[in-house]
Structure formats: structure tokens, C-alpha cells
């Protein structure tokens, strides 16, 4: 290391004079005493290696192009000594010692290198002959299969020479390759080979089809086969399948169709063959009882899970029956969730009354059906129930009407039915209650004359035959004007007001979740709600042309799980959605259609291009638009053909 450059600071000062104070200037050079090395240190530095700083060398705070402007002031922080680095510690100063070859063979025998073969030191210096030895007979390379399957074509001259050499053979002269056998050389001269026929003409009697399968019924064929069967047995030993041979025994003691002996055990399912395929000791092992240790069986029963059974480790300690239930039996409440929502009083709870409600509903349905089938108007049906003509129906009149409708109700069920229909709890059923609970008021329209009778109390018009059939009304009004409402808004048809039972009304403090967010028809649509947060599919920003590996954002151009499980034929060929929806020029679209085999004339292509460009507000065209237009044109042509036919 070079010593620091000394700077001339002016004439030397006497030793007894005090050192001058540091001058304030732009640049203050470090003092000589700080930067100059002592003789001892210089001697020690010479002993170190070149390019390596000793650990005890302390350099100034600033070095190089920076200077300490206040050397007399202490510097903030700690100055750690700069010594040897890791690279200096890991670098070998001297080269490694080489093992002599005489000792290397002993070392390699005891500690062979990784992946090397252990070689005995006695033959370590022997010549290596084994790697160059080859055993067996060296085979000659035959003609490759490529030349045999597809030989090189020969020239015309070579083919002529080959044909000339093969022309000496009689087979080549008689039947040359690629030609039929020429027999004209052996025929007499002047013979007409086209019109001359040799041999005897064959008379066609019966075809092979009629011979194999004659056009006869089965009975006739069987009769013909049975006619000469006895003669064929004697001459040809021709027996039917399963027919016993007639050995001409004494028929008095032996009959040829009797069966003798013990029947052979036979099963069509192959169970005897299955027995022969298994050893005897295997079958005996299956029949024998399997011996299992009781300790092992108890352990499995106690600690291992069984299919369809609950694990119960303490079952052996519980001396209770299997159907025993632990804990206190909780008595169910008299009310249910519906009773709490509708705020029903204790006497009107519906929990546990399902059978009672079903019976009342069945009776009401039967009465509604009878009233709908037998009466044209609600007023006529009400007159039939109101036998006294006082404008209301009491319990006795209701029971009599049920008897006439073949409904024989007991007193309890009749009370329940009457209690259900009597909404105002006055002990009578008025016209509005009758129309709501005992008839289908929506299916029987309210006529004009019926409305006058119900509201105004007028007599029917005798000139109108439809009104003449209605009996005279009493002065008492059956309905109030506000009880008649429009069937649907904007229509002239009218119907009666719908009654609600007190138990069906919901509490004023009860609110549904949909009402909390104003999810009703005609309210503010959800598209107008303010949107917060970042969407899962970032369709609001364009997808980058080149995506980074760390970019996990979904831009909406990738497929979902269905596209991964069921890829389309385009995805299997490496064509994805972005390729279909990419904007392309007219020339590029024309080349794509030509490459896939869609042939269109210039006029047809121009028509398809114009229709596809109209589907985009900017007039851009992609492959998907072209596909949709072609499908629409093809569908229009098919519809036109079906209409013409």
C-alpha cells in the first residue's frame, strides 16, 4: 500500500511553539500524524500479502475524493476495524499438496473417488485391456428396412434391360405382369373368339337358394325328412341329434326309449367346474371356523370404527337397554316459529294442529267444488245456504247444506269449520265470509245485476231472463260498496275483497330481509346501487398484451372450471377465446376462411363482412362475428327450404 501523499503546509514551526489552530477553509488536508504510518506498522504491513488489509489497520473516516473538513471534531457512530473478509478466509494461499502416484493407488483402494470403481492396488498399474475388448462375432449390416419398403426408382434404360432378361421365361410370355393370360395363340386361325361358345349348355332347374332353403312350410320339410329316415339309418347310419340306436332287443322286456342308470349331476351355472379349480384345503378353510383372539376382538369392538355403527368405548360399562336415551326430556313448546311471526294468542296456536287444519281444508275444498259445479253465481249459492233468507248463515243452515252435499260432519268438525269461516266472531257467516272461504270467487265472475242486488237492494229486472231467475232481495244490504274491488288494475272485471284472518296478519314490527334492502318490484334496481371494492374479474381494465409471471389478476379472457374439464375442439388445437374475439382485417378473415375450407365468392364474402361489421358499434370484425353470421345465413336457408317444400 502506498503511503499518503505529504502536503507542504509552509515553513516548519519551532518545537516549543504551540500547534496552530486549524484554519477554516474550503479544504483541510488530514494531518501528517494521522495518516503517516509508524515505522513498526510499515514493517508489519510489508509482511502481509499484497491486496489484503491487516485487521488492525484503521483508515480515516473519509478517503478518496472526500475530505474531513473538521478533523478535530469527533465523528458520530462507531468505526469497526476493516480486516480479512470471508473470501480471504476461503481462498487457499498455497497450492494443494499432490499425493505421489506410488501412494495414490493405496489411497484409492481404501477411499475410492465418488462414482469410481474400487481397484486393488496390486493391479492398479496394469495395462487397461478390458475396455477395448469385444466379444462375439461382428455382424454385418444388412439392407435397411427403408430401402426395402421404398426402394429407389430405377431408370427407363434399367427397366428395359430387366424386361429383356425376363422375356426368355415362358411364364413371362404366357402371362406377363399386369396383363391377363392370352390364349389366342392355341386357338385355330379364323375363329371368332367373341361369338363362339364351347361346351354344353347347362339347363338351369333349381337355384342354390331354393335347394338350401326351399319355399316350403316347416311341417312339410319335417315330413319329407322323416319319410326316408329309416332307410338312411340302414344305409348311412344317419341318426338325429340325441336319437338312440335301435339294437332290436326284445320289445317285451326292453323299450328303446326308456332311460337306465343314474343321472349325472350337472349344473348349467358351472359350480362343479368351480370346485375343480380350487384346492381341497382351500374349500375346507372356507367351511372351517375362523379363530380370532378374544382380546383382539374386544379391542376392535371398543376402539376401532365400524361402518354404520357409532363408536362407543364405554358401552360395556353401561347397563342400560339399547334404546335408552340419557338426559332430561325437553317438553316442546306449544307455539312454533309461524306463531311467533304472526303473534298469535295462546288459544290460536297452530302447532300440532296439522290434522285438524287438513280436515277443515278438505271440507272447504269439497264445498267449493259443489258450489262451483251447481251454481252459476255467488248470490245463488248463498241463497241456497241461507234457508231463512235473513242474509246470514248460522250453524244449523251450514250443517244442512253439508248434509245435502253428502258431507256428514260430526259436531266437533262442524264447529271447527264454522269457527274458521267466521272472521268477525259474531256467530254468523255473512256474504263476504261465504265468498272468501266456501267458494272460488275468482273463478265465478261478479255480474252487473248481481252487484245491484248486493249493494242497492234492488229487485232484478224481469225483462232480463238472467236476472229473472234470481229471487227477490231483502231490503238489508249484503255488501258494502267498498267490499267490491277491481279484479286486476286497468280492467273492468270486479270481484269481492279478500278477507284475512286475524292470525294471518303479520306484526307491524316484523320485517323480512328483502324488505330491509327494498327488494320489491318497481324499486331502485340493483344496477343503480353504488359498487365498492375491487371486482373479482377486472373487466374494467384492458388485459396486457404480455403478462408477467407474477400477474394473478383475472381479466375475464380466461376460461372457467367447466372449460378445463370439458375443453372444446378449438382449445385442443391451441385456439382460445382471445383468438376468436381478436379484431382482424378483411384479408386476414378471408385467409382464415380459405384455410379452414369455407369457400365463398367475392360477393358472398362481402355480404358476410358487411353483416358482421354491423354487429359492432365501431365496425370491427372478429372470427366469432363471422361464425355467427354464417350460422344465421345457413339457418335462414334451411327455413326457406322447409317453407318451399
Please report the pLDDT score of residue 130 as a whole number: 82
Residue the block writes with cell 444388412: 142
- Determine, yes or no, domain membership for 537: no
CATH of the domain at 631: 1.10.238
Query: Which element (helix H / strand E) includes 374?
Result: helix 354-374
Please report the pLDDT score of residue 40 as a whole number: 46
| Co-location of 379 and 489 in the same domain | yes
| Co-location of 384 and 479 in the same domain | yes
Q: Is 359 exposed, middle or buried (CB count within 10 Å of its CB: 0-12, 13-18, 19+)? A: middle
The 10 Å Cβ neighbour count of residue 438 is 24
Using pLDDT thresholds of 50, 70 and 90, give the confidence band for residue 52: low
The answer to whether residue 242 scores a pLDDT higher than 90 is no
| Co-location of 580 and 499 in the same domain | no
Per-residue pLDDT, averaged over 340-349, amounts to 82
Among residues 468, 483, 504, the one where a domain terminates is: 504
393 SS3 class:
strand
- Determine, yes or no, domain membership for 460: yes
Residue 159 φ then ψ, to 5°: -65, -40
**Alpha-carbon distance 616 to 610, whole Å?**
11
In sequence order, the β-bridge partners of residue 495 are 485
Of 155-159, 449-453, 529-533, highest mean pLDDT: 155-159
The proportion of the chain whose per-residue pLDDT surpasses 90, expressed as a percent, equals 10
Please report the pLDDT score of residue 626 as a whole number: 93
| Co-location of 359 and 492 in the same domain | yes
Domain that residue 612 falls in: 573-644
- CA-based nearest residue to 363, from 414, 425, 404: 414
User: First and final CA of the chain: distance in angstroms?
Assistant: 108
The answer to whether residue 498 scores a pLDDT higher than 90 is no
**Alpha-carbon distance 346 to 334, whole Å?**
8
| Co-location of 488 and 606 in the same domain | no
Per-residue pLDDT, averaged over 222-236, amounts to 88
Using pLDDT thresholds of 50, 70 and 90, give the confidence band for residue 466: very low
**Alpha-carbon distance 563 to 560, whole Å?**
5
Residue 364 φ then ψ, to 5°: -60, -40
| pLDDT per position as a tens digit, 196-210 | 888 888 888 888 888
| Co-location of 376 and 467 in the same domain | yes
**Alpha-carbon distance 160 to 164, whole Å?**
6
Please report the pLDDT score of residue 7 as a whole number: 42
Using pLDDT thresholds of 50, 70 and 90, give the confidence band for residue 455: confident
The 10 Å Cβ neighbour count of residue 24 is 8
- Determine, yes or no, domain membership for 79: no
Contact between 570 and 624 under an 8 Å Cβ cutoff? The reply is: no
Hey, what's the cell of 204? 338351369
- Determine, yes or no, domain membership for 468: yes
Hey, what's the cell of 462? 224481469
- CA-based nearest residue to 620, from 592, 572, 588: 588
Among residues 458, 482, 504, the one where a domain terminates is: 504
Q: Of residues 86 and 430, which shows the higher confidence score?
A: 430
| Co-location of 438 and 584 in the same domain | no
Using pLDDT thresholds of 50, 70 and 90, give the confidence band for residue 585: very high
Query: Which element (helix H / strand E) includes 210?
Result: helix 208-212
Please report the pLDDT score of residue 508 as a whole number: 56
The answer to whether residue 145 scores a pLDDT higher than 80 is yes
Using pLDDT thresholds of 50, 70 and 90, give the confidence band for residue 506: low
The answer to whether residue 430 scores a pLDDT higher than 70 is yes
Contact between 373 and 367 under an 8 Å Cβ cutoff? The reply is: no
Per-residue pLDDT, averaged over 499-519, amounts to 63
- Determine, yes or no, domain membership for 433: yes
- Determine, yes or no, domain membership for 581: yes
**Alpha-carbon distance 273 to 68, whole Å?**
108
CA atoms within 13 A on the CB side of 191: 11
Using pLDDT thresholds of 50, 70 and 90, give the confidence band for residue 517: low
Using pLDDT thresholds of 50, 70 and 90, give the confidence band for residue 51: low
Among residues 489, 504, 519, the one where a domain terminates is: 504
Residue the block writes with cell 333349381: 206
CATH of the domain at 397: 1.10.238.10
- CA-based nearest residue to 375, from 311, 458, 471, 289: 471
| Co-location of 488 and 358 in the same domain | yes
Domains contained in the chain, number:
2
The 10 Å Cβ neighbour count of residue 367 is 23
- Determine, yes or no, domain membership for 404: yes
Beta strands in 291-449 (DSSP E): none
**Alpha-carbon distance 435 to 499, whole Å?**
10
The residues, ordered by sequence, that sit 6+ positions from 335 with a Cβ below 8 Å of its Cβ are 344, 346, 349, 351
**Alpha-carbon distance 445 to 377, whole Å?**
8
- CA-based nearest residue to 53, from 80, 16, 26: 80
Of 59-68, 295-304, 313-322, highest mean pLDDT: 295-304
353 SS3 class:
coil
Please report the pLDDT score of residue 584 as a whole number: 92
- Determine, yes or no, domain membership for 630: yes
Hey, what's the cell of 14? 519551532
Please report the pLDDT score of residue 37 as a whole number: 45
| Co-location of 362 and 492 in the same domain | yes
| Co-location of 486 and 375 in the same domain | yes
The answer to whether residue 451 scores a pLDDT higher than 90 is no
| Co-location of 348 and 486 in the same domain | yes
Per-residue pLDDT, averaged over 279-286, amounts to 86
Please report the pLDDT score of residue 157 as a whole number: 95
| Co-location of 356 and 443 in the same domain | yes
125 SS3 class:
coil
- CA-based nearest residue to 592, from 568, 616, 608: 608
236-245, 357-366, 608-617: the lowest-pLDDT one: 236-245
Query: Which element (helix H / strand E) includes 484?
Result: strand 484-486
Please report the pLDDT score of residue 618 as a whole number: 85
- Concatenating the DSSP letter of every residue in 562-574 gives HHHHS--HHHHTT
16-30, 415-429, 543-557: the lowest-pLDDT one: 16-30
Amino acid at each position: 500500500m502506498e503511503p499518503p501523499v505529504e502536503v507542504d503546509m509552509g515553513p516548519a514551526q519551532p518545537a516549543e511553539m504551540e500547534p496552530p489552530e486549524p484554519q477554516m477553509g474550503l479544504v483541510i488536508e488530514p494531518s501528517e500524524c494521522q495518516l503517516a504510518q509508524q515505522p513498526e506498522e510499515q514493517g508489519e504491513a510489508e509482511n502481509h500479502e499484497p491486496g489484503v488489509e491487516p485487521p488492525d489497520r484503521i483508515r480515516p473516516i473519509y478517503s478518496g475524493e472526500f475530505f474531513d473538513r473538521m478533523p478535530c471534531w469527533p465523528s458520530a457512530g462507531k468505526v469497526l476495524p476493516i480486516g480479512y473478509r470471508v473470501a480471504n478466509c476461503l481462498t487457499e494461499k498455497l497450492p494443494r499438496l499432490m499425493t505421489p502416484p506410488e501412494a495414490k493407488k493405496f489411497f484409492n483402494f481404501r477411499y475410492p473417488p465418488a462414482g469410481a470403481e474400487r481397484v486393488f492396488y496390486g493391479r492398479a498399474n496394469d495395462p487397461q485391456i478390458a475396455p477395448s475388448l469385444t466379444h462375439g462375432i461382428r455382424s454385418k449390416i444388412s439392407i435397411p428396412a427403408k430401402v426395402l419398403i421404398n426402394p429407389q426408382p430405377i431408370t427407363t434404360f434399367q427397366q428395359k434391360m430387366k424386361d429383356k432378361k425376363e422375356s426368355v421365361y415362358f411364364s413371362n410370355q404366357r402371362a406377363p405382369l399386369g396383363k391377363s393370360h392370352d390364349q389366342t395363340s392355341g386357338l385355330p386361325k379364323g375363329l371368332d373368339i367373341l361369338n363362339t361358345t364351347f361346351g354344353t349348355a347347362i339347363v338351369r332347374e333349381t337355384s342354390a337358394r331354393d335347394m338350401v332353403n326351399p319355399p316350403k312350410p316347416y311341417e312339410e320339410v319335417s315330413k319329407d325328412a322323416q319319410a326316408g329316415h329309416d332307410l338312411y339309418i340302414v344305409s348311412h347310419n344317419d341318426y338325429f341329434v340325441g336319437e338312440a340306436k335301435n339294437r332290436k332287443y326284445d320289445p317285451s322286456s326292453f323299450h328303446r326309449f326308456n332311460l337306465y342308470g343314474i343321472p349325472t349331476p350337472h349344473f348349467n351355472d358351472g359350480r362343479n367346474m368351480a370346485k375343480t379349480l380350487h384346492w381341497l384345503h382351500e374349500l375346507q378353510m372356507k367351511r372351517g371356523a375362523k379363530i380370532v383372539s378374544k382380546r383382539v376382538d374386544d379391542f376392535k369392538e371398543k376402539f376401532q370404527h365400524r361402518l354404520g355403527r357409532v363408536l362407543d368405548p364405554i358401552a360395556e360399562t353401561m347397563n342400560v337397554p339399547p334404546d335408552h336415551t340419557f338426559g332430561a326430556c325437553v317438553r316442546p313448546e306449544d307455539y312454533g316459529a309461524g306463531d311467533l311471526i304472526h303473534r298469535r294468542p295462546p288459544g290460536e296456536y297452530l302447532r300440532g294442529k296439522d290434522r285438524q287444519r287438513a280436515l277443515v281444508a278438505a271440507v272447504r275444498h269439497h264445498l267449493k267444488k259443489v258450489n262451483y259445479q251447481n251454481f252459476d253465481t255467488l248470490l245463488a249459492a248463498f241463497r241456497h245456504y241461507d234457508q231463512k233468507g235473513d242474509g246470514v248463515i248460522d250453524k244449523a243452515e251450514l250443517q244442512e247444506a253439508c248434509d245435502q252435499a253428502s258431507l256428514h260432519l260430526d259436531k266437533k268438525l262442524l264447529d271447527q269449520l264454522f269457527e274458521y269461516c267466521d272472521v268477525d266472531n259474531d256467530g254468523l257467516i255473512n256474504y263476504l265470509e261465504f265468498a272468501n272461504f266456501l267458494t272460488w270467487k275468482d273463478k265465478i265472475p261478479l255480474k252487473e245485476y248481481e252487484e245491484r242486488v248486493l249493494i242497492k237492494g234492488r229487485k232484478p229486472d224481469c225483462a232480463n231472463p238472467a236476472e229473472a231467475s234470481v229471487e227477490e232481495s231483502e231490503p238489508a244490504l249484503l255488501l258494502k260498496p267498498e267490499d267490491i274491488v277491481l279484479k286486476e288494475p286497468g280492467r273492468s272485471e270486479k270481484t269481492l275483497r279478500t278477507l284475512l284472518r286475524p292470525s294471518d296478519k303479520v306484526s307491524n314490527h316484523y320485517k323480512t330481509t328483502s324488505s330491509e334492502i327494498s327488494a320489491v318490484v318497481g324499486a331502485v334496481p340493483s344496477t343503480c346501487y353504488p359498487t365498492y371494492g375491487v371486482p373479482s374479474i377486472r373487466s374494467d381494465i384492458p388485459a396486457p398484451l404480455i403478462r408477467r409471471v407474477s400477474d394473478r389478476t383475472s381479466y375475464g379472457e380466461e376460461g372457467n372450471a367447466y372449460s378445463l374439464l370439458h375443453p372444446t375442439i378449438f382449445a385442443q388445437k391451441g385456439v382460445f377465446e382471445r383468438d376468436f374475439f381478436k379484431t382482424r382485417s378483411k384479408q386476414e378473415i378471408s385467409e382464415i376462411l380459405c384455410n379452414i375450407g369455407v369457400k365463398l365468392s367475392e360477393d358472398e364474402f362481402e355480404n358476410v363482412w358487411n353483416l358482421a361489421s354491423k354487429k359492432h358499434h365501431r365496425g370491427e370484425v372478429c372470427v366469432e362475428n363471422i361464425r355467427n353470421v354464417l350460422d344465421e345465413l345457413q339457418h335462414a336457408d334451411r327455413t326457406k327450404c322447409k317453407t318451399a317444400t
